Every structure is written in structure tokens, then in C-alpha cells.
Amino acid sequence: MANLEEELQTRRTFAIISHPDAGKTTITEQMLLLGGVVREAGTVKGRKGNFAKSDWMEIEQKRGISVTSSVLQFDFDDKRINILDTPGHEDFSEDTYRTLMAVDSVIMVIDSAKGIEPQTKKLFEIVKERHIPIFTFFNKLDRDGREAFDLVDELESTLGIQAYPMNWPIGSGQILAGLYDLYHKQVEVYRPASNAERFLPLNEAGNDLAQANALQENPLWDEVRDEIELLQDAGNEFDEDAILRGELTPVFFGSALTNFGVETFLSTYMDYAPAPAPKKTATGTLVEPTDENFAGFVFKIQANMDPNHRDRIAFVRIVSGEFTRGMDVTLQRLNKKLRLSNVTQFMADSRENVQNAYPGDIIGVYDTGNFQIGDTIYAGKKAVEFEELPTFTPEMFMRVRAKNVLKQKSFHKGVTQLVQEGTIQMYTAWDSGEYILGAVGQLQFEVFQFRMENEYNTEVTLEPMGAKTARWVNAEQLDPRMASSRNLLVRDRNDAPVFLFENAFAERWFSDKYPDVELETKL
Ligand code: G4P
């Protein structure tokens, strides 16, 4: 199928990770401008565009945030780009993490005045664990930032990844003059006098401008040339394989707000960002995207897209084959046949009803309650089951019970369903059997509470237990007497024992006392 091969080679599916306020929205918007999807800046931020306007849940409107990761698709540079959003702030949740399981590469946006911030680090750890190629954009160069060397050094030491600067700032803030672009052998001038002055070619050796220019009179010029020399002598080698293994990150500088360096970044990124990757099955074999049998997996379920219909949308990442509207597939877990007729694709300017989609694309399948997160769907006779999506170690816990004791039945039904959907994690206390919810972000509790009330007609009481460190132990090594006042022994939903420690000190104390017991984290 030449068509399939061609289509999938043009796909680039990625997420942007960052700490809130680093400029993720602004850079996304510039990309949409470059892709010709929006015509004016401020469309995304101002929520004027269709794609950002969301009426999915009341809670979204109340808080003015987007609860779950959305998908944007647009064309740029002969490529079809799928950007999967990774919500931050208070809307950080397991969905944010799970989105990273559905991308082929990641862009990390860092505020150049602030450097690596906590949320970036958390998300990066997951990217690193999965060996996903990562590209770094140091943003806000139009503001006074930190020294470029200092930023790159922090990136390497804090995140444990090698960096390769693709370009280098000539000043920052008030004195920002441009980018020394080693990769394209040119200087990109900030606020050039004319368009002709925007890109100044470098000489063959790359150590000076090819033609005399006023920029060479700038006191920063010699300084930058020294820095470039240092980078060339002592920096990392450019190594495409290392980039694809997620061991080396190409580093770019720029300013999303003033649209400086964004186009250069995006087009260079498109040169190296990988096309859709094969995916492992539960038995460890690989499904290649060129496999002509359609297969995909559910990485997110969005409930209540339309409160009047109470429908749900399962977000499916296509791994192989071609999706065609109305096709028959099997839902592997239930060995159930389904027809995919009501399917949405997420073009940036509209939510269209999709006819065809290819590996790398995300489709939204309307669901009446069949799907769970992590499910595989496939077409054809040969059964496919993709490897399980990872469980993430929750960091916040709450005791939960039904406000009205007479509502036990719907309480259990709701909890079971929402846990299966991956809205939240559930544990039970080892001895008392009470229910404990675990989450990576506060929003998950709110969504849980909201949906219990609205969909299961059950008000719940949530009692915060604060932050805890969850560590799994091998059931054979467990002695329930290991539980103490500094930890709480619980079961996860597969009945595996987990200790919830008050803090790192309590965990160390435990390890000192029981040196043979291995404490395991999830991702
Ligand atoms: P986020 O999605 O990562 O949370 O960040 P977002 O793009 O919303 O940007 C956060 C703030 O930083 C915004 O300002 C935005 O205008 C600003 N910003 C983004 N990129 C740049 C840049 O390259 N240079 C400068 N100087 N600022 C940048 P705000 O005042 O919080 O919001 P707004 O009122 O301007 O929309």
C-alpha cells in the first residue's frame, strides 16, 4: 500500500512539555500561524478559535481551563502535524502523563530566565524513561535571561541528557541582536531593518559573516564568536541516532511572543522529528506502522463532551494501517466487534467527521461505555494486544466515602467505572478496607467528585491525606506488621501491596529497618 507508506511518512505526532507560563500556548499559536490555521496571534490564548473553545464540562467553564489533553492537527512544510496538549497548572493529571505515551517526539519549552522548573522535570522523567526523542526550545529571549552556557549546563546536569545547541543567542532582552545559527550557517537577525537583512550567511568555516555587516560592530559579536568556538571545540557531537534514542537533545533559542526563531525551530525540528514509530505488543513483538491491518490504542477517555448526551470519546492513537470511516474493528479486551462510524478527527480549525486517518493520527471514537484506557482495537483476523499503558505513581491521596450510606450501590458502581476509565487510582486500606483515592494532580479529585455527582448521582466526601510517597512491595516479602505510624499499608486495584509513606524520611527509616524489602516505584 504505497498510499499508507506515503501518508505515514508525512505524520509528525508530538507533545509540548513545559512548566506553566514558559510559553507553551504562545509557541503553539505561532506554529498554527505558520501552518496557516490561524491568521492572528492571540487566537489560542484568547480562546476565540474553535479548537480552544471548550464546552466539554461545566468544571472546565468554571475554572476557565482545558481539563483534558486536546489534539491539534495542521499541515506545515508538507507534513501533517498532530500536537497533543499536555495540560499543566492545576489541570495536571494522569492524562497529561498518558498523552506522552501517544507521541513520537516531544518539544520541551523552557523559560530562559527561569531554567528547568519542577513540572518540566516531572514530564521529562517520563519522556526519558520511554526514550522519546526530545527537542528543547529556550523561550523568552526578548527578556533578560540567564547566560546560554548556564542554561545548557543546567539542562544537562539536572535532566541527565546531552545537549547540542543548534543555534546560539547573540545577547538577550534589550540587547538581543540575533541567533547565531550553526546548523543553517547563518545569523538570524532580531528585528532586522529590512527583510533582506533577516538572514545573514556565515562564511565557509562558520566563524564569521560571509559579508561585512554592521552587526560585526556590535560589542556582542566577538563574544559570541568566542562562545561558538568553545562550543565547537568542547561541545557534544551532533548525532542523529542519539537524538532518536532520546539521549541527545537539539537545543534552540528564541522568543515565541515576538515570533523570533520559531519558524527556524519548527522547520529544523521537522527535519529530525521521527515519523510514527512501531509499537510493542503485550507479548513483546512489534506492530509496524506499515502493517496494513489497522490497529490503535486508547490513551484517554473524555466523558461528557456533550452534557445532554452523556457520551464519551475514546482518543485512539493509530499505530498501523489505514482507518476508514465505518470500518469494523475488534475491541481486544472484550473480543467484541464494533463499527467505527461515529469518529472525530481534531483538525485545528474544526472538529471534522473523519473519513480516513493514518498511523500517527489521533481519532476520537464515540463510545457508549465499551472502552477503557489502554484498550487495543484492531481490524482483520489477527488479534493484536498492545502492551499495557504504565501506571504512574500517585502523589496525592484522599479517603473517600459516599455521603449518604444508602447510596452504597451507585457509589461502588461509580468508583469502579471511574477507576477503570483511568480518571483516578483507587487503593483500599489493608486492614480497615476503607477506600483511598490516589492522583498525580488535584484536578483528578475534582473531576471524580463532579462525575460521581452528575453521572452516578452520588455525593462523596473526600478527606485529604496530604502528599505521600507510594512504594510497591513484593507480596512475598510483605509482613503486615511492617505497617507503622509512619506508613500506611494499602492494596492497589490488582491487590498488590503498597506502602504510603509520610515522607522521604519515613521511607528511609523503613529501608534501614527492612533492608531486604525492595520498594518499587511506578513511572
Ligand atoms: P503556558 O502556555 O506555557 O502557560 O504559557 P503562555 O504561552 O500562556 O505564556 C505565559 C506568559 O508568557 C504570557 O504572558 C505570554 O505572553 C508570555 N510569553 C510567552 N512567550 C514569550 C516570549 O517569548 N517573550 C515574552 N516576553 N513573553 C512571552 P501573560 O502576561 O501571562 O499573558 P498574556 O496576558 O500576555 O496573554
pLDDT digits (tens, 9 = 90+) for 204-244: 989 999 999 999 999 999 999 999 999 989 899 999 999 99
Assigned C-alpha cell, 112: 530562559
pLDDT tens per residue across span 318-377: 999 999 989 999 999 999 999 998 887 765 555 455 678 999 999 988 888 888 889 999
- In this prediction, residue 173 carries a pLDDT of 95
Assigned C-alpha cell, 140: 523568552
Angle of CA points 236, 238, 242, to nearest 5°: 95
Closest CA to ligand 1's atom 4: 21
The percent of the chain in helix, strand and coil, each rounded to the nearest 5, is 30, 30, 40
Domain 279-378 has what CATH class?
alpha beta
Ligand 1 atom with the shortest distance to the CA of 26: 7
Domain 396-520 has CATH 3.30.70.3280: yes
Measured from the Cβ of residue 390, the count of other Cβ atoms closer than 10 Å reads: 16
Domain boundaries, the chain: 6-66+87-96+104-272, 279-378, 396-520
Annotated binding site for GTP: 18-25, 85-89, 139-142
Q: What is the ipTM of this complex?
A: 0.97
CB half-sphere exposure, 381, CA atoms < 13 A: 0
pLDDT tens per residue across span 263-292: 999 999 999 999 999 999 999 999 999 999
Asked if the model's pLDDT at residue 42 lies above 50, the reply is no
Mean pLDDT across the stretch 431-443? 90
Closest CA to ligand 1's atom 6: 23
Assigned C-alpha cell, 406: 444508602
CB-based contact 274:244 (threshold 8 Å): yes
533582506: which residue's cell?
196
C-alpha–C-alpha distance, residues 32 and 40, integer Å = 10
Instruction: Considering only residues 56 and 212, tell me which one the structure prediction assigns the higher pLDDT.
Output: 212
- In this prediction, residue 112 carries a pLDDT of 97
The pTM (predicted TM-score) of the whole model is 0.88
- Rounded to the nearest whole angstrom, what is the distance from the C-alpha of residue 185 to the centroid of ligand 1? 30
- In this prediction, residue 10 carries a pLDDT of 94
pLDDT tens per residue across span 360-370: 999 988 888 88
Pocket probe mutation, ligand 1, options 19, 26, 176, max atoms within 8 Å of Cβ = 26
Please check whether the two domains, 279-378 and 396-520, share a CATH topology. no
C-alpha–C-alpha distance, residues 186 and 54, integer Å = 42
Ligand 1 atom with the shortest distance to the CA of 256: 23
- Rounded to the nearest whole angstrom, what is the distance from the C-alpha of residue 22 to the centroid of ligand 1? 7
Pocket probe mutation, ligand 1, options 21, 85, 255, max atoms within 8 Å of Cβ = 21
CB-based contact 373:299 (threshold 8 Å): yes
Bridge partner residues of 318 (DSSP): 296
- In this prediction, residue 307 carries a pLDDT of 56
Measured from the Cβ of residue 31, the count of other Cβ atoms closer than 10 Å reads: 26
CB-based contact 45:25 (threshold 8 Å): yes
Angle of CA points 157, 159, 164, to nearest 5°: 75
- In this prediction, residue 162 carries a pLDDT of 97
Judged by average pLDDT, the poorest of 87-91, 101-105, 299-303, 329-333 is 87-91
Assigned C-alpha cell, 270: 521537522
Measured from the Cβ of residue 329, the count of other Cβ atoms closer than 10 Å reads: 22
Would you say the C-alpha torsion 498, 504, 510, 511 has a positive or negative sign? positive
CB-based contact 77:84 (threshold 8 Å): no
Q: Parallel, antiparallel, or unpaired for β 343-347 and 162-165?
A: unpaired
- Rounded to the nearest whole angstrom, what is the distance from the C-alpha of residue 169 to the centroid of ligand 1? 20
C-alpha–C-alpha distance, residues 32 and 27, integer Å = 9
- Rounded to the nearest whole angstrom, what is the distance from the C-alpha of residue 257 to the centroid of ligand 1? 7
- Rounded to the nearest whole angstrom, what is the distance from the C-alpha of residue 131 to the centroid of ligand 1? 29
- Rounded to the nearest whole angstrom, what is the distance from the C-alpha of residue 234 to the centroid of ligand 1? 34
C-alpha–C-alpha distance, residues 127 and 134, integer Å = 8
Instruction: Considering only residues 300 and 148, tell me which one the structure prediction assigns the higher pLDDT.
Output: 148
Three-state SS string over 121-136 comes to: HHHHHHHHHCCCCEEE
- In this prediction, residue 277 carries a pLDDT of 95
pLDDT tens per residue across span 414-425: 999 888 878 899
Closest CA to ligand 1's atom 19: 23
**CA-wise closest residue to 277 among 292, 263, 265, 287:** 287
Ligand 1 pocket by C-beta < 6 Å: which residues? 18, 20-26, 45, 139-140, 142-143, 255-257
DSSP state of 91: G
Annotated binding site: 18-25, 85-89, 139-142
Closest CA to ligand 1's atom 33: 45
- Rounded to the nearest whole angstrom, what is the distance from the C-alpha of residue 356 to the centroid of ligand 1? 36
DSSP state of 194: S
- The CATH code that applies to domain 6-66+87-96+104-272 is 3.40.50.300
Pocket probe mutation, ligand 1, options 142, 257, 258, 263, max atoms within 8 Å of Cβ = 257
